[in-house]
Amino acid sequence: MEFSVNLQGKTSHEAILLRQDSELRLLDLMKRCLMSKLKCDREYAAALSAVATQGLKMDRSEEMFGSLVASTWKTMMEGLEDTGKLMKQNTINLETKVLDSLNNLYAEKRKIKKFYQEEYTKIQMQLTNISEEVNRKKLEYQKYLELYKLTRTKFEEYYVKSGRGGRKLDEVRDKYQKACRKLHLTHNEYVLLLCEATEFEKDFRTALLPDLLQHLQNIQEATIYCWKQLLQDITTMSDLTSEKFKKIQNKIENEQAAIKRNEEYTKFTEKFKTSPTEKLDFVFDASLTEDSAVKFLPNQLTVDNLTIDWLRNKMGDLESSIAESEEKRTSLENAIAKSPIINGKASLADPEISCRISMAQVHKEREIEELKCSERKMWKQVELIKSALNELGCEEVPSGCDLSLDNQTFKNDSNEQTPDRHTVAYKKNFGTKKVVNILRKQFRRKSAPSSPTAPPRTKFRRDSSSHSEGAEAVDSWVSITTNKSLVEEEWFHGVLPREEVVRLLVNDGDFLVRETTRNDESQTVLSVCWSGYKHFIVQTTSEGQYRFEGPAFSSIRELILYQCTSGLPVTGRSGAMLIKPIPREIWELNNDDVVLLDKLGRGNFGDVYRAQLKNDKQIYAVKTCRGTLPEDHKKKFLQEARILKQYDHPNIVKFIGICVQKQPIMIVMELVSEGSLLIFLRKHGDNLNESHLMKMCLDVASGMMYLESKNCIHRDLAARNCLIGQNNIVKISDFGMSREEEEYIVSDGMKQIPIKWTAPEALNFGKYTSLCDVWSYGILCWEIFSKGGTPYSGMTNSKARDRIDAGYRMPASPNTPEEMYRLMLRCWEYKPEDRPNFEQIYTVVDTLCKTFG
């Protein structure tokens, strides 16, 4: 369609202007999107190169000799690297060619619009001016016509009255003649002006405006041609199906096609072929029974009053386990029989589903074989026990088998009173020897290995000096003949909070004793696992004795031992039975074993001290929790210990133990010599070079990679919460806000959240993942390279949060390596999924450390 014919009206003119505005906006949008695409492609190309670099760090050992899968993987990674390089080159071409052309086209379009507006206004103004001139001339014509009529009338009147002479008549005649001449002149001007206006209007319609519109159309179409070329260039340079990409893809597909499962391990098997596994013989060491004090026979079970009940119970447990195993094995065999896998081939068309089903079948077959092995082992043990019991000929215990035991009887200090039915039953059914045997079984405890960095724990546990004279001195048993106080008992856990206690109670019958404070009054509590968790407050009688529902005893120890051996529930309503006492964990230290030295500082929950442990010269750091704090604060205080006790890494502060036997609760940790990383950076930053700072970032990345593998979210990673030790090693500390979850949603508000270190999704939605720690790691690296600077200096928390949401990111500190700042920016990507994980971060920082090292 022709502009010059179809777009001459005013509405068309306005539409042309709107179209030009829209085209300018579209060009601007294309320019901004192209810039964003260039940024994304550059980052994607860099990410592909990083992934390829990481992927090419394959195991070079001989164990992968001849692997087609490894060879294919290498080709895939090289293809990924080539793809990254190709994409990077495409981004350079787009930026240097297309983006510049797009900017030029945008500027040209603005000039075209301006030219059209000016020219259209110019000729429109000419038409308006001549129209207005015609109207003015018409009005002037009318005015002079009226004047002419008036002067003529007066002249005629005077001429009639005065005849042919007189001065007055001459004046009237002059005015009449002037008006006549003026009218004639105006008449001619009006005629000429109409002629001019007619011609201009004709030219306006047939020449000026059509020519302008045709010129505009030609220019518009020329820009469309340029526009099309730009789009084609963008498409060509962004085409992932081009021959270059196809070549990379074909190479990878050829390598994948070469993988054959029956050939993958051929070369490997030939290279590392060995003889079959030699048989191992497990033989009873006969020297163990050579001592004349014992009557044991090699490879034979001993049946006497100490073992017969245990053997019967053991056989019952084994038979029950065998039945469960057989039931589970039958279920798996039935599942395999119903599987769509027939003769090793899937009847399903989808290869992916077929692979999953095939692997699932292999797992089930493997599990069946393991169950069969387990059943064979248990059947052998059952046969051995049955054989030993059958040799008795009856279920009576053979005479002459009693061990020589201390005959001290279990006495109740209140024996002067008439014993109730519970006490009578207790003494009738449980003699001293049997009570000792039962308790030995119940309180037997395996010795836990000590941590190589922690002090020996055993010296804080049992002291043979606490045994009464004549009592049995058995190191790993707790005996009723000792004169221990309640605090010394292994199953007394002090002021450990309820939430920590229930973590230790796993099976029905597990129990322990602890203390709690209610209404400023200390109370002793028995905690039992029995269809859930039950907590019984020990009642005190008016005579100062202790009881639940049964008899009263002079000590809590005697009360607990009675409940263990009587076979009676703690309360009739609960039905809870005491079966297995849960001892203190290996890291639970006695408060009296900690010697506080000098105060190091003050924390959120209490003071921090340098300290020693008795019989240990090493210096530790001890965090204390004020006894006046509410229970929920004590729980938060112990949360750090619960998390730290299971971690062992050189870049995480080491946990030594906790003290909960009495107030104040204490956490014992390694003392890191130089203290806070933030203070160290501010004091000694001028003496640190780029290599030192980069090594600090690597230490933190190493510790966080370890925490990430343990699904631990730190939530408060910052320089203030890291410590620095000898040789400038950095250790992550302060796990008070940490959570052991892949994802943690805050439900109790955002109080005490470090705003400037926290990722946007955590601030906005309360959603924490390990990628939130990645954001904080970027801030921490900024702190390190700024040598203790304050992030978002001069901004309030609210202002910083708003600026971050708007896209602001802190500039690099002076002397920050460009590669390190790029890593910080990747850590500060607004979308969590766009950030690297700590394994990737460690790889990048490790490479940079080697570069700067």
Catalytic residues: 716
- Which residues make beta-bridge pairs with 768? 744
Q: State the Cα–Cα distance between residues 641 and 630, nearest whole angstrom.
A: 18
Please write down the HEC assignment for all residues of 565-620: HHCCCCCCCCCCCCCEECCCCCCEECHHHEEEEEEEEECCCCEEEEEEECCEEEEE
Which residue type, as a one-letter code, is found at position 710? K
Q: How far apart, in Å, are the Cα atoms of 264 and each of 73, 260, 269, 272, 781?
A: 13, 6, 10, 14, 45
Helix-strand-coil split of the chain, %, nearest 5 = 55, 10, 35
C-beta separation of 643 from 735 below 8 A: yes
Strands 539-540 and 594-602: unpaired
C-beta separation of 44 from 88 below 8 A: no
608 has binding-site annotation: yes
| Assigned token pair, 662 | 């009495």
C-beta separation of 412 from 423 below 8 A: yes
| Assigned token pair, 675 | 């203290």
Which residue type, as a one-letter code, is found at position 460? F
Please report the DSSP string for 651-669 in residue order. TBPPEEEEE-SSSSEEEEE
C-beta separation of 442 from 564 below 8 A: yes
- Burial label for 675, CB within 10 Å (0-12, 13-18, 19+), is middle
Please report the DSSP string for 687-738 in residue order. G--HHHHHHHHHHHHHHHHHHHHTT-B-S--SGGGEEE-GGG-EEE---TT-
606 has binding-site annotation: yes
C-beta separation of 474 from 444 below 8 A: no
Q: State the Cα–Cα distance between residues 114 and 469, nearest whole angstrom.
A: 111
Element (H, E) at 546: strand 546-547
Given the structure tokens 């969590």, which residue do they identify? 832
604 has binding-site annotation: yes
C-beta separation of 763 from 746 below 8 A: no
C-beta separation of 790 from 755 below 8 A: no
| Assigned token pair, 78 | 């090289």
- Which residues make beta-bridge pairs with 621? 610, 669
| Assigned token pair, 706 | 């370890």
All residues at 6 or more sequence positions from 67 whose CB lies less than 8 Å from its CB, including other chains: 264, 265, 268
Element (H, E) at 767: strand 767-769
C-beta separation of 633 from 499 below 8 A: no
304 has binding-site annotation: no
Residue 213 CB coordination number (10 Å): 23
Q: State the Cα–Cα distance between residues 588 and 496, nearest whole angstrom.
A: 10
All residues at 6 or more sequence positions from 746 whose CB lies less than 8 Å from its CB, including other chains: 762, 766, 767, 768
C-beta separation of 669 from 657 below 8 A: no
Q: Rounded to 5 degrees, what are φ and ψ at 382?
A: -60, -45
| Assigned token pair, 809 | 């990111």
601 has binding-site annotation: yes
Task: Give SS3 for 526.
Answer: strand
| Assigned token pair, 221 | 């179409």
Binding site feature residues for ATP: 600-608, 623
**Sequence ranges of the binding site:** 600-608, 623
